[in-house]
Structure 1
Amino acid sequence: MAGLKFEIKENLGTLSESSKGWKKELNIISWNDRAPKFDIREWDPEHQKMGKGITLSNDELKELKNILNNMDI
């Protein structure tokens, strides 16, 4: 995307990896010099290309954690 600036502040973990080397990761990312947020998306091995993903605030991540903790899987 043109004009999109990002900085991966911290990699928290890898959820999966495709046969082409792309990894679905949970990271803390600052988008366009804004406050860092939690982010789940696929990245190429060099972290230059990315897939569609989801960005979550602290409160949203806490709510997601609550939902997952209450699931019977």
Structure 2
Amino acid sequence: MTKLTQRKVEFEWGDKQEAAFQLLKQKLYSALILALPDGSEDFIVYCGASNKGLGAVLMQRENVILYASRQLKIHEKNYTT
């Protein structure tokens, strides 16, 4: 679906895009509830990178505080991981 938001790409909504949208809605509905950070607890950061994007999770014990992810820009794909 991210290709739909890129420049100079014709907007096309077909079965593939609808299926991706429905899957995204389902994942958002079933996502775990985020917790508020507790200043007295240690933080844990999990992060990962691939040739397509970056992702991270900020946690305290078993509680998720924050999810973050994004696709890499064209020039960023040349960076080392």
| Same-fold call, TM cutoff 0.5 | no
TM range, normalised to the smaller chain? 0.3 to 0.5
Larger radius of gyration: 2
Greater helix fraction, Structure 1 or Structure 2: 2
Give the TM-score of the pair, scaled to structure 2: 0.31
Give the TM-score of the pair, scaled to structure 1: 0.33
Greater strand fraction, Structure 1 or Structure 2: 1
